[in-house]
Every structure is written in C-alpha cells, then in structure tokens.
Amino acid sequence: MGPGNAQSSLVHKVWVVCVDAVGHLIDDDGMAIASHVALSLLMTIFPFIIFVAALAGFIGDAQLAQQVANIIFNIWPQQVASPIAAQVHDVLTGVTPGLLTVSAGVAIFLASNGVEAVRTALNRAYRCSESRSIFFRRGQSLVFVAIGGIASLTLAFLGVLGPTAFAYLADHFPELLPFEEIYKVLRLIATNVLMLSVLVAAHLWLPQSRPPIAQLWPGVVATLILWYVAGKTFAFYIGKFANYAATYAGLASVVTAIFFLYLIALIMILGAELNAALRRLADGRLR
C-alpha cells in the first residue's frame, strides 16, 4: 500500500469513527443526558463550594474557599463566570465553621448528584447497564466529592502560599525574579493537571465497564481540546453576538451558565462515545 492509499485509509477510518461516535451520541440520548448533567453540575456548584468553605473553616482558613471558587471560575469564560462567581462569593460571606455538621452533610449529598449524572452519561456512552449496589454507587460519588474538595483546597492553599513563598525567596535571591512568569505557568499547569485527573478518574471508575486504560486517552484528549475550543468560541459568541439579557432578563446569567455547562457535558459524553467507537473498530464491529 502506497503512502497515498495509507493516508486515505487513515482519513476514512477517522471519518467512520467520528460518524459512529456522533450517531451513538444521538441514539443514546446524549443530548438529553447532557442537559441533565449540565443542570446537575450547576446545582452542584453551590453545595460543593459550601462544603469546601466549611472544610476550610474547620482547618482554620476560611479564605481558602474563596480561592477554590476563583480556581473553578477562572477556567470558565469570563462572560459566563462573572455573574455566577459574584453569587458564590455572596454565599461564602455567610458560611460559618458550624456548617461542617448537618449542612455540610446535605451539601455533600447534593454535590454527589452531579457525580451520579456523569455516571449515567458514561454508562450510556459505553453501552453498559449498572449492576452495582446503589449504596456502592452513592458511596463512590461521595468519595469523589470528598477527594475533589480536598484536592481543590490543596490547590487553593498552594495558590495562596505559593506567591508569598516566591516573593520571600525573590527578596533573598533576586536572581529568581526572571522565573516569575514560569512560576505562574506552572500554577496554571497544576490546575489543568487537576482537571485532567478528575476527567480520567471519571472514565476509569464511574461507569460499570469501559475500554482498557490504554484505550481511554483518545476520548480524554479530544475532550480537553474540544473544551478549550468550546470555551473560546462561546466567549466570542457571548461577547459579539448574544444578548441573553434582552431575552431572559434577570435569568440571563443562569441561562448562560447552563448553556455553557451543556456544551461541556455534551463534549465529555462525545469523548466517551469516541472511545467506544474506537473499541468497536478494533473489535471489527465497525465498518
């Protein structure tokens, strides 16, 4: 087979896999499930932040919760994040360490509903039915929320402590000043690594079954790339064309956030469908 034929064959396989993934996304009600995931995620944000705020107050630094909120919304387009972030910060002003009791327990449970929504989406994409106990699934979701809270606090703590430590070292070692921008890049990389870890963990442990670990990376990489493109495109669309305030009035910020989260959820499900399509291609079930 010549180079031209090999290239044509590769393009044909990519096309077939993409068409199959999109087809199964539609057949598996991926668009409807993405709406469910988006609404669940939006309803999860406030309980999760309250839980993190209570946990931060328990360890003695309530400002860490503000840092976690900043980390979460820095990933979103500014036009989407600003109204929601303002509401979150208003909520955090009333949070006390006492929320670590009953209120934090309720917040954790509500936040775990978002994890369950993602589980449903991944099970549909990988075409498997749940046979695990509801207690196991809910317990796993609670563990995901707890680990996410601890990881977010750790990242926020580094975000607070890191600049102070760098400034202290730069005062004593001025030759470090040229590396300040590199340090900021490393902090950004740490945030992205956390996102990647959460995404990979979701593909690994939430669905009943999945392709082997080595075959998960195409969907994960495609998800990250499409998330970046969707974020930039949506921010451009909001800034140049859309005027949700004229249509939805006071609900504009909520509608914008749901629409953005819908795109994020739809892309995540498409990444799982892509992995499933590649698995069918490898097994000879896709032509």
Tens of pLDDT along 167-213?
767 777 777 777 767 766 776 677 678 778 888 888 999 999 888 88
Given a cut of 60, whether residue 220 has pLDDT beyond it is yes
Asked if residue 1 belongs to a domain, the reply is no
Q: Which residue has the higher pLDDT, 178 or 54?
A: 178
Asked if residue 271 belongs to a domain, the reply is yes
DSSP state for residue 249 in the 8-state scheme: G
Whose tokens are 């006492």? That residue is 98
CA of residue 233 relative to chain centroid, distance: 17
Asked if residue 253 belongs to a domain, the reply is yes
Asked if residue 14 belongs to a domain, the reply is no
Q: Which residue has the higher pLDDT, 66 or 280?
A: 280
DSSP state for residue 281 in the 8-state scheme: H
CB 155 within 8 Å of CB 196: no
Given a cut of 60, whether residue 123 has pLDDT beyond it is yes
Asked if residue 24 belongs to a domain, the reply is no
Q: Which residue has the higher pLDDT, 106 or 135?
A: 135
Reported as a single tens digit per residue, the pLDDT across 265-274 is 999 999 999 9
Q: Which pLDDT band, with edges at 50, 70 and 90, does 36 fall under?
A: confident
Asked if residue 194 belongs to a domain, the reply is yes
Domain count, the chain: 1
The arithmetic mean of pLDDT across residues 26-46, rounded, is: 82
CA distances from 264 to 48, 147, 155 (A): 18, 21, 22
Angle at 49 between CA 46 and CA 54, to 5 degrees: 125
CB 245 within 8 Å of CB 252: yes
Q: What is the pTM of this model?
A: 0.77
Containing structural domain, residue 232: 29-282
pLDDT of residue 221: 92
Asked if residue 11 belongs to a domain, the reply is no
Asked if residue 2 belongs to a domain, the reply is no
The DSSP code sequence of 256-272 is: HHHHHHHHHHHHHHHHH
Count CB-CB contacts under 10 A for residue 236.
13
Please name the amino acid found at residue 2.
G
Count CB-CB contacts under 10 A for residue 62.
17
pLDDT of residue 74: 67
